[in-house]
Amino acid sequence: MQRVNPPSQPTLACEAPSPATSLSVRPPPIRTPPHASQVPPQADSLVSLLQRYPIMWQGLMALKNDHAVVQMHFISGNPMVARGSLPCSPDGLALPLRIAQRMRLEQQQLEGVARKVQMEQEHCILLALPCGRDAMDVLQQSNNLRQGFITYLQLKQAAGIVNIAAPGSQQPSYVVHIFPACEFANDSLARITPDLLHRVTDIAHLLVIIATV
């Protein structure tokens, strides 16, 4: 797997930023992937479609030596689960989300996640898409996401796992499941928002399911 040098960490907003929020101190607008934003302007284009799904978190994801900057769009569930679990510093800046464990995509494991998803207040589903300062940066982050995260997890037939403890506690309060494109992820998106699944099929993306412990 090709390794890339970690990018210098930009200043990132932890609270749900608007699509115009910058990754740097002086903001050019954040862009969606160029192969998405170049879709002919239609009412159901990806750009307009994503406006229905607010950005809950924008920051750096890490897996081993690979890094990618992503925006996580709220799809369904309890938004307070996302706010309580995704890492932020005390001054409100997003901290890196580092994948340290894997969960095999086995029936028993997936059934456990599916049971949590049936509890409306106990989960949150997000869609992670690459973002950057300009079109070239978005393309770089898209490549990073595909090579360092999606391909790796697909080869391992696994989802990435991040355990998040509540402030002041050592015990996990949330489990962040990070799925590459797979049958479980695609079925989940198709059930909730089939139009969005259709639009992101050919774009580097991850499905993120956060569940309470």
Burial string for 176-204 (b: 16+ CB within 10 Å, else e) reads bbbbbbbebbeebbeeebeebbebbeebb
Q: Report the largest interatomic distance among the alpha carbons of the chain, rounded to a whole angstrom.
A: 49
Distance CA 97, CA 166 (A): 15
Task: Give the model confidence (pLDDT) of 49-62 as tens digits.
Answer: 888 999 999 999 99
Give the domains, in start order, of the chain with CATH numbers: 46-212 (2.40.290.10)
Q: Is the pLDDT reported for residue 35 higher than 50?
A: no
pTM of the model as a whole = 0.79
Task: Give the model confidence (pLDDT) of 109-143 as tens digits.
Answer: 999 999 999 999 999 999 999 999 999 999 999 99
Distance CA 198, CA 186 (A): 10
Q: Is the pLDDT reported for residue 203 higher than 90?
A: yes
Distance CA 144, CA 210 (A): 23
Task: Give the model confidence (pLDDT) of 36-88 as tens digits.
Answer: 333 344 334 778 888 899 999 999 999 999 999 999 999 999 999 999 999 88
